[in-house]
Structure 1
Amino acid sequence: MDNRIYILDVTNRDGVQTSRLGLAKLEKTVINILLNQMGVFQSELGFPTTNHETNYINANLELAEMKVIYPMRLEGWIRAIESDVEKAVELTRVKHLNLSISTSNQMINGKFQGKYDKEDIIKVMVDAVKRAKELGIKTIGVNAEDASRTGMDYLIKFALAARKAGADRIRYCDTLGYENPFRIHFRCKDLTKAVDLPIELHTHNDLGMAVACAVTGAKGVIEEGQDAYINTTV
């Protein structure tokens, strides 16, 4: 079996956001340098659509070009909408993006208040992925927010649409720490089998099972012949 598990660290985006810590841009840069030295595959370095992170992101991308942060990829998190893609490319030189949108009924209803239904969510995501491809983004991950509470049929439909539009990976987000290690193993296994794309495991530790869920979810992906990507924070 040649498939691998890769580490995608999200400390400088979700880790800081979740713990409500304010890290200086220099501290974030040091984290990226250390993650690279540790052999991490990719760092989610921040939000390329926010003006206050523009200089930090571009400086780190320049460090990557200078081989100071290399070979680790630097990737930005944005919403899965065309305007975010365009703004990220306008403000930064980022070439790797994760595009995120809610997929569960609870979050679609709560966030969008009837503005979007489930078909609209897919269309908005597909348009964003296609726009990212048009603007030269090299790798695109599509995040299914609250995937753990999303019906499996719809999650597969969403992921297949992302793949057709040009996505490279699907991020399975356990946004509320809802999963358990057994359930996520079989859901990720079924998702991989249906979609035939690498899957990212993004698990939260509300119930103390983030590591177990990430590992067993990745195992399900590997069993179906795809690479798995585990999100971490340090």
Structure 2
Amino acid sequence: MKERNAIELYDTTLRDGTQGEKINLSVQDKLLIAEKLDEFGADYIEGGWPSSNPKDEEFFRKALGLRLSNAKICAFGSTARKPDNIANDPNLAGLLASETPVITIFGKTWKAHSAVSLGLCDEENAELIYRSVEHLKKEGREVLFDAEHFFDGYKDNPAFAIKMLLSAEEAGADRLVLCDTNGGTLPNEIYEIVKDVASSTTVPLGIHSHNDGDLAVANALSALRAGAMHVQGTINGIGERCGNANLISIIPNVVLKMNGRFRHKLQLNQLTPLSKFVYEILNMPPDNRAPFVGRSAFAHKGGIHVSAVMKESSLYEHIDPKSVGNRQRVLVSELSGQSNIRYKANELGINLPADNAALFKTLVQRIKTLEHEGFQFDVAEASFELLLRHQLGQFKPFFTVLESKLHIESGKNRESVDQAVLKIEVCDEIELTAADGDGPVNALDKALRKSLRGFYPEIRSMRLVDYKVRVLEEKKGTSAKVRVLIESSDGQNSWSTVGVSPNIIDASLQALSDSINYYLFTYRTEKANRLSTAQSAS
């Protein structure tokens, strides 16, 4: 992209994004996201459709109190329903009542929609667009015209589609936004059509693309290449059906790949935190495989890849992860080589001997053997760290489970009873403990904690936050191995551990034991380091 006018960033997460399945935002949620988008550097924040529901009307009332530094709040709606009743149209009245400085209205630019949906002839539809835009402009608002179904309409009847655009332009529209509403247009088509429209209009053009063909980002970038200077989308690509163009992918591509610039200086290194913030507000898990910001976006697993990345990261990374607020990760698995282990050890602050080839060979072979048995260390890094430190003689388990028994009783006329009994050795002492639970794994967890609290009271602050079971060797049916993954947290940090066995209880006990051992090791190591630092300071 050659040097050109700055691109405007228009976010519709709060409106078009909320039309996605299972997406719901409260008024407070929308206000928090609006503030974050403004801080990031967005130019326009589309807050909703004020005439459609009370929630959006409340949002616009409260948004008047936001102290925004960069963005303008925008209300969204349609043209009037009839060209002869503009002044009394309830939709336009609702848009004006929102008191936003910017209003976006959509109108029909596909002849079939105009004729079938509205029952209007060409001239009536053009007049409807003209008079709707004119009415809002007379009220002193900045007006953006969203040309609904524009690309389908252009391919069907280019003369009609462009005539509707010119009607909005003549009425004073500040932007003409070309919408791929059905999301089925190809990037080369977008480019050619935008180029043609740019030769017919004088008002700056925008692009609004949907992702039904998995091309929304590519289509947005093609439109910008063809001369559009205004791009619309949502954070994380949320939206109706397959979603909207993902601004999280558009932004770094424009800045880092196309030599483009946005009107406001964006906080590009806050891109990953922004993506995670919106996911958190939506109460949705982040997409680990998302380009640029996903946890796996710069994760390397193959030994050859890791060896190369350690020498020069650009050999297997298309950008510097830090530029978008992400980080490089190296995974440990059956595909690992010595490079993976060295990288992970350095990341964990573990010093490895540089000249001990036998040790590395043993470590690599041990990991490959365990992964072949079903362990998965790239998602259970706490278990990997314990394994590594144990091989280096830096870690010894804080306890040993000698025996475990489970009693499960259920029947038609009796309550379900799950009880675990554990025999544990701690510091040469034998502890026998029983506990009831909601299910056998919960009973096991309670019994393990109960037996250890007297020795290690600090474990009271840790808890299990996620538990997953995966059946391995499915063809073996009920005799197949299972892999249990556990995520634990102390409120500040979280860690994951793994266990594998044909017995789900045994696999769970392995993962639970690793989780507690890991917490005790890190807690006591940090405590010792703090004490040493304090003594040195005194």
Task: Give the TM-score normalised by the residue count of structure 1.
Answer: 0.89
Structure 1 contact 180–213 (Cα < 8 Å) conserved:
yes
Distance in 2 of aligned mates of 1:232 and 1:87: 24
Q: Is the 8 A contact 1:144 1:173 kept in 2?
A: yes
1:101-112 equivalences in 2 (<5 Å): 101-112=107-118
The match for 1:50 is: 52
1:147 equivalent in alignment to 2:150: yes
Q: Which range moved further: 78-87 or 126-135?
A: 78-87
Question: How many residue pairs align between the two structures?
Answer: 221
**1:20/1:97 CA distance change after superposition, 3 Å:** farther
Aligned-pair CA distance for 1:155: 2.0
Deviations along 1:155-207, one digit per CA (max 9) or x if unpaired, are 22111111111101111010101211111011111111210111111000001
Equivalent position SS for 1:195: coil
Deviation, structure 1 residue 13: 0.7
Contact 2:39 2:70 in 1 (8 A): no
- Counterpart residue number, 2:100: 94
Aligned twin of 1:132: 136
CA RMSD of aligned residues (A): 1.5
Structure 1 residues 16 and 110, CA gap change in structure 2 (3 angstroms): farther
Percent of aligned positions with the same letter in both sequences?
A: 24
Distance in structure 2 (CA, Å) of the matches to 1:20 and 1:219:
34
1:57-68 superposed matches below 5 A: 57-63=60-66, 67=67
Question: Any unmatched runs of 5+ in structure 1?
Answer: 223-227
Gaps of 5+ in 2: 81-85, 236-538
> How far, CA to CA, are the matches of 2:9 and 2:206 in structure 1?
9
Residue by residue over 1:204-227, the C-alpha shift from the partner in whole angstroms, topping out at 9 and shown as x without a partner, is 0001000000011111115xxxxx
Measure the CA separation in 1 of the matches of 2:210 and 2:22: 15
Selected match of 1:31 from 33, 53, 61: 33
SS in 2 for 1:12: coil
3-state SS of paired residue (2:14):
helix
C-alpha separation in 2, matches of 1:171 and 1:165: 15
Distance 1:153 1:231, change over 3 A: same
Q: Per-residue CA shift, 1:103-125, capped at 9, x if unaligned?
A: 1133224422xx21222111111
> What does 1:1-234 align with in structure 2 at a 5 Å threshold?
1-19=3-21, 21-52=23-54, 53-63=56-66, 67=67, 69-81=68-80, 82=86, 83=89, 84-90=91-97, 92-112=98-118, 115-137=119-141, 139-150=142-153, 151-221=157-227, 228-234=229-235
What secondary structure sits across from 2:100 in the alignment?
coil
What does residue 355 of structure 2 align with?
none
Query: How big is the shift at 1:44?
Result: 0.7
Distance (Å, rounded) in 1 between the aligned partners of 2:202 and 2:181: 23
Deviates more, 1:151-160 or 1:210-219: 151-160
**Which structure has the larger Rg over C-alpha atoms?**
2
CA distance in 2, matches of 1:154, 1:105: 7
What is the alpha-carbon distance in structure 2 between the residues aligned to residue 95 and residue 48 of structure 1?
A: 14
Indicate how the Cα distance of structure 1 residues 78 and 24 shifts in structure 2: closer, same or farther if over 3 A, else same. same
C-alpha displacement at 1:20, in angstroms?
A: 5.1
Which residue is equivalent to 2:408?
none
> 1-side partners of 2:193 and 2:28: how far apart?
39
Q: 1:148 touches 1:178 (CA, 8 Å); kept in 2?
A: no
Measured at CA, do residues 148 and 18 of structure 1 come closer, stay the same or move farther in structure 2, by a change above 3 Å? farther
Q: TM-score, normalised by structure 2?
A: 0.40
Structure with the higher fraction of residues in helix conformation: 1
Offset at residue 51 of structure 1 (A): 4.9
Could you say if the C-alpha distance between residues 16 and 36 of structure 1 is closer, same or farther in structure 2, counting changes exceeding 3 Å?
same
Deviation at 1:86, TM superposition (A): 2.1
| Aligned-partner Cα distance in 1 for 2:222–2:6 | 14
